[in-house]
A and B are shown apart, each in its own frame.
Chain A
């Protein structure tokens, strides 16, 4: 493990960060709203604990898994997140049947319980959140530098990311229009219009900014394949729209 999992002041992109109740992820980069207020950008599942966090919750650097503790390592407060939508069933008939089955299972002393879920997956476009920093920041991404802004990704272009676990890695955009089901601790969620990038990503790299060779942020990494050879990223323009911010360039 290198210094990316250690304490960094001022904050920079590419280092360990996380909500007080998660393991660890990556601080992607800094963004600003129309009033020029600067925020930390990462994923919902890193800063907002898969929808379970409350606005104002403590954000730690390093993340809890890397030894971050309250109050010494608090670097910000959760400011806003986009909810991740998981399939849920509101079918009354299914609900009644499951309650009966679970009641029978309980009477029989079985440990198994039944759960209903819908085969209709609601669509997500982003897994993102921002936190208000309470310590000094340096608007750079480790080993990449200061972002020049945001841009639309192009298929076939060379990109790079700076992540907490695998550091600086390069890659190539395979597609910018993939719909894919992603596993979370709460179950699978469907993401539409995602970027597929051939690169090295591992657990803990979530939240890394995907940057093109010209220095523009094009995506926000949030998922990857089990062998670590393919990363999935949200389009940064969708993240900016959803959170009402822009990649900070000053």
Chain B
């Protein structure tokens, strides 16, 4: 069973989404101890944040490129 991330972490990821619009989503469960973040661009060198610190503990971020997500009307 993967652990659900708490609202404090979600708040921090949401702040990153505002700062870096290429971050378009994230998983609410930790995957192998990492926060899974989805991006719309494959080139993410400008995103220098590699982990989120919560209660003194650094949780690494794993970036997954999926591209933009669109509603599927034709």
User: Which A residues are within 8 Å of any B CB, using their own CB?
Assistant: 18, 22-25, 43, 45-46, 63, 65, 119, 121, 127, 164-165, 175, 177-184, 192-193, 201-206, 221-227, 230-232
In angstroms, how far is the closest chain A Cβ from the Cβ of B7?
Answer: 12
Q: Are A223 and B70 neighbours in the complex by a CB distance under 8 Å?
A: yes
* 1/0 contact string of B14-26 vs chain A (CB within 8 Å): 1001100000111
Q: Are B18 and A119 neighbours in the complex by a CB distance under 8 Å?
A: yes
Q: Which residues of B contact A165 (CB under 8 A)?
A: 74
Q: Are A182 and B70 neighbours in the complex by a CB distance under 8 Å?
A: yes
Q: Are A178 and B70 neighbours in the complex by a CB distance under 8 Å?
A: no
In angstroms, how far is the closest chain A Cβ from the Cβ of B4?
Answer: 7
Task: Pick the 5 closest A-B CB pairs, nearest first.
Answer: A180-B25, A204-B74, A206-B72, A177-B28, A24-B74
B71 within 8 A of A: yes
| Chain B: CB-nearest residue to A164 | B74
Q: How far is the CA of A83 from the CA of B74 in the complex (A)?
A: 20
User: Which B residues are within 8 Å of any A CB, using their own CB?
Assistant: 4, 10, 14, 17-18, 24-29, 36, 38, 66-74
**How many A-B pairs fall under 8 Å by CB?**
90
| Chain A: CB-nearest residue to B68 | A226
Q: Which residues of A contact B17 (CB under 8 A)?
A: 181
Q: Which residues of A contact B74 (CB under 8 A)?
A: 23-25, 63, 65, 164-165, 203-204
Q: Are A183 and B72 neighbours in the complex by a CB distance under 8 Å?
A: no
Q: Which residues of B contact A202 (CB under 8 A)?
A: 72
Q: Are B28 and A183 neighbours in the complex by a CB distance under 8 Å?
A: no
Q: Which residues of B contact A223 (CB under 8 A)?
A: 69-72
Q: How far is the CA of A202 from the CA of B70 in the complex (A)?
A: 10
Q: Which residues of B contact A164 (CB under 8 A)?
A: 74
Q: Which residues of A contact B38 (CB under 8 A)?
A: 178, 180
Q: A65-B74, A178-B26 are in contact. Are A183 and B67 (CB under 8 A)?
A: no
In-complex Cβ contact of A204 among B14, B27, B73 (8 A) = B73
Q: How far is the CA of A81 from the CA of B62 in the complex (A)?
A: 36
Q: Are B29 and A222 neighbours in the complex by a CB distance under 8 Å?
A: no
In angstroms, how far is the closest chain B Cβ from the Cβ of A126?
Answer: 13
Q: Are B73 and A182 neighbours in the complex by a CB distance under 8 Å?
A: no
Q: Are A179 and B73 neighbours in the complex by a CB distance under 8 Å?
A: no
Q: How far is the CA of A127 from the CA of B72 in the complex (A)?
A: 11
Q: How far is the CA of A127 from the CA of B10 in the complex (A)?
A: 22
In-complex Cβ contact of A193 among B18, B24, B28, B67 (8 A) = B28
Q: Are B69 and A225 neighbours in the complex by a CB distance under 8 Å?
A: yes
In-complex Cβ contact of A183 among B10, B18, B27, B70 (8 A) = B70
Q: A178-B38, A181-B17, A226-B67 are in contact. Are A205 and B27 (CB under 8 A)?
A: no
Q: Are A25 and B24 neighbours in the complex by a CB distance under 8 Å?
A: no
Q: Are A184 and B71 neighbours in the complex by a CB distance under 8 Å?
A: yes
Q: Which residues of B contact A18 (CB under 8 A)?
A: 73
